[in-house]
Amino acid sequence: MADRILVLGGAGYIGSHVQKQLLEDGFEVIVFDNLSSGDKVNILSGAKLIVGDILDIEAIDKAMSLGIKGVVHLAAKKAVGESMIKPEIYASNNLTGSINILNSMAKHNVRYIVFSSSAAVYGMPKYIPIDEEHPICPINYYGYTKRAIEENMEWYKKLGKLNYVALRYFNAVGYAKDKSITGRERNPQNLMPIIMEAATGKRDGFSIFGNDYETKDGTCVRDYIHVSDLARAHSLSLKKLFETDCSYTLNLGTGIGTSVKEIVDATEKVIGKKLNYDYAPRRSGDPAILTAKASKATEVLGWKPIYTNVEDIISTVWNLEI
Ligand code: UDP
């Protein structure tokens, strides 16, 4: 019988791609999502959807008692700026919600969790590329919530309750190539969906935040990782947990640095037209360069990103529009 996986936040952008990968890999998938930012259209046939909130302990307990072998937890608020203005929302959803999940797992003897963490746990880079040994010093409340849950998973592990894989994502972009996931993020805060809204006329234009960084062209450099590559790492992580009963913390990135300007230029090339943008002041808290050393994920999981060309990645987003 196929192992049954509970995907918390499985209707969201990354979660829905994880759902797809798990189905393709022969897992049975139950998505648990409050649909606050996720979308029902992202639920594929073959997956079951439970509409529920991770702050509702009864609802989580009910889902957790369905013979779950492993959990993938991506149910979280993720807007960095908002986390600094309304920390209480992040404390409830990301901290209390996640503790509810760990407690429910312990109660129902569900031993395995893959947790969606973030490069935001590192804060300002002391060196580049960032490996997992890099000092941890989040500079925004969102990053703090991710770190706090990593620490709690470490404690629950020490106390014999579970094993975990914490996946520290760099910049997730792209959509499934086969166009099976179509739900767009509402009110996006990240560069790629904002550019796409400009490309499709949903917004007039956009700003590049800062052109005076010490980088190749003055704009910030990030490590853009395709969401299908990210998704594959979750499936591999579950298999690794089941096989080894050990815990791991892994960066997920390509190691390739791409500047904001390069993303904009590549998008113009892919869509075949000019975009309307201007240069605005730096956004506070943005490091100039953030790239990953993700060789540990290769060693532990045998994982490697397939998408390494930024135009290929952008094409998977643009393909949804044409
Ligand atoms: N960015 C930008 N204009 C926007 C949104 C983002 O220039 O409208 C820049 C941002 O300053 C950063 C990069 O794009 O250098 C990626 O930002 P995003 O918010 O997507 O991800 P982050 O790196 O903050 O996790």
**171 touches ligand 1 (CB under 6 Å):** yes
Query: What's the CA-to-centroid distance between 302 and ligand 1, angstroms?
Result: 30
Residues serving a catalytic function are 142
284 lines ligand 1 (CB under 6 A): no
Ligand 1 contact, 172 CB (< 6 A): no
* Atom 25 in ligand 1: residue holding the nearest Cα: 171
SS3 string, the chain, reads CCCEEEEECCCCHHHHHHHHHHHHCCCEEEEEECCCCCCHHHCCCCCEEEECCCCCHHHHHHHHCCCCCEEEECCCCCCHHHHHHCHHHHHHHHHHHHHHHHHHHHHCCCCEEEEEEEHHHCCCCCCCCECCCCCCCCCCHHHHHHHHHHHHHHHHHHCCCCEEEEEEECEEECCCCCCCCCCCCCCCCCHHHHHHHHHCCCCCCEEEECCCCCCCCCCCEECEEEHHHHHHHHHHHHHHHHHHCCCEEEEECCCCCEEHHHHHHHHHHHHCCCCCEEEECCCCCCCCECCECCHHHHHHHCCCCCCCCHHHHHHHHHCCCC
pTM: 0.98
Q: If you measure from the C-alpha of residue 190 to the centroid of ligand 1, how many angstroms do you get, rounded to a whole number?
A: 6
Tens digit of each residue's pLDDT (9 = 90 or more) over 77-120: 999 999 999 999 999 999 999 999 999 999 999 999 999 999 99
pLDDT in tens, 38-71: 999 999 999 999 999 999 999 999 999 999 999 9
Q: Write the pLDDT tens digit of every residue in 178-204.
A: 999 999 988 899 999 999 999 999 999
- 174 C-alpha vs ligand 1 centroid, how far in Å? 15
